[in-house]
Amino acid sequence: MLAIGVDAGGTATRAVVTTLDGRCVGYGVAGRGNPVSAGRPSAVGAVLEAVGAATVSAGRALSEVSVIAAAVAGQPASGAGAESLQAELSAAGFTGRVVFESDLLATYFSATASGNGYAVVSGTGACAIRVAEGRIEATADGLGWLLGDRGSGFWIGQRVAEAAIRDLDGVGRMTALTRAVLDHLGIDPQPRPGAERSPELEELVSALYALPPIELASLAPLAFRCVEDPVAAGILRRAGERLAESLLAVLTEPGPLVVGGGVLFRSGPVRDAFTGRLGGSADRLDVIPVEDGVVGAGLLALRAGGLPPTREALARLTETLALVRRSSVHGAPL
């Protein structure tokens, strides 16, 4: 029998098929699987697509899978979303169990098998957790784009948009972010003599309001590209400080710190400000960056099947997943 781990994030959904001894035999990718940002129907569809691609990659059927662990942000273990996913999987031939886990816990176990430690994720959203005996013991932030996600891609993108608006409106500092945002959105209006406001400002406001709010996260990379600009550098520095404050809210003792998500994963001003705000607390942490949570989702699926996370299982799944990913890219048989 097989197990499937699903890492359903705000940007992409990844699924790994693993044997019950922790060897990856299939891998699949689909679109956004976070029900908060993508909507429940789209999120369920992305999970189904990733699971389907992973089983095709493995050359196996869903009926051969005994357990699926879905690591989904904001998804409770019961309720309409869980029932909908279970029903759709059953209709596709799945007869086993579906368990729901935190996407933060999947990120954590993608880098360490230790039962105690910390994780900070800063992708589209942002959150910090403390893990004790393999379970989440404390959480800071992860409150969504409207009320939290401080230091996330959305948080940065929103401030990039605001900086450009304030520049064009004449109430903020001039910044290279303005031109970058206009170019990103394809705005290059012709001058309109006698216009009450700059045509760029009017078009930018219309373009931004036409986007789903979560799409402001797509502006975050512009801050990294304009890192020499004082306004962009200030946004990135504050993002790092906010992420550190979330971690400090759950930090109690030394341990591994798993860092995931595209914002904090890369070296640069966010990471520097993050470390600086932690101060002496950073010396007590073993920082381990990780690209995504799919390995951890696989380990959580194995745990649901009775195999607790171990260093050996983590190493085996990490190594075999890398082989499957490379085989998929080069078109070799899996």
Domain boundaries, the chain: 2-110+292-330, 113-290
| 58 Cβ contact list (under 8 Å, min separation 6) | 2, 17, 25, 26, 334
- Give residue-wise pLDDT tens across range 114-163: 999 999 999 888 999 999 999 999 999 998 888 999 999 999 999 999 99
Burial class (CB in 10 A: 0-12, 13-18, 19+), 128: buried
**What was the pLDDT predicted at 33?**
61
Alpha carbon 6 to its chain's center: 13
Residues of the chain with pLDDT under 70: 33-41, 74-82, 190-195, 328-334
Alpha carbon 307 to its chain's center: 26
Class of the CATH domain delimited by 2-110+292-330: alpha beta
**What was the pLDDT predicted at 299?**
96
- Asked if domains 2-110+292-330 and 113-290 share a fold, the reply is yes
Q: Could you tell me what percent of the chain has a pLDDT over 70?
A: 90
Residue labelled with tokens 């031109």:
179
**113-290: CATH topology:** Nucleotidyltransferase; domain 5 (3.30.420)
**What was the pLDDT predicted at 91?**
87
Residue labelled with tokens 């075999």:
320
Q: Please, are residues 14 and 7 in contact by the beta-carbon 8 Å criterion?
A: yes
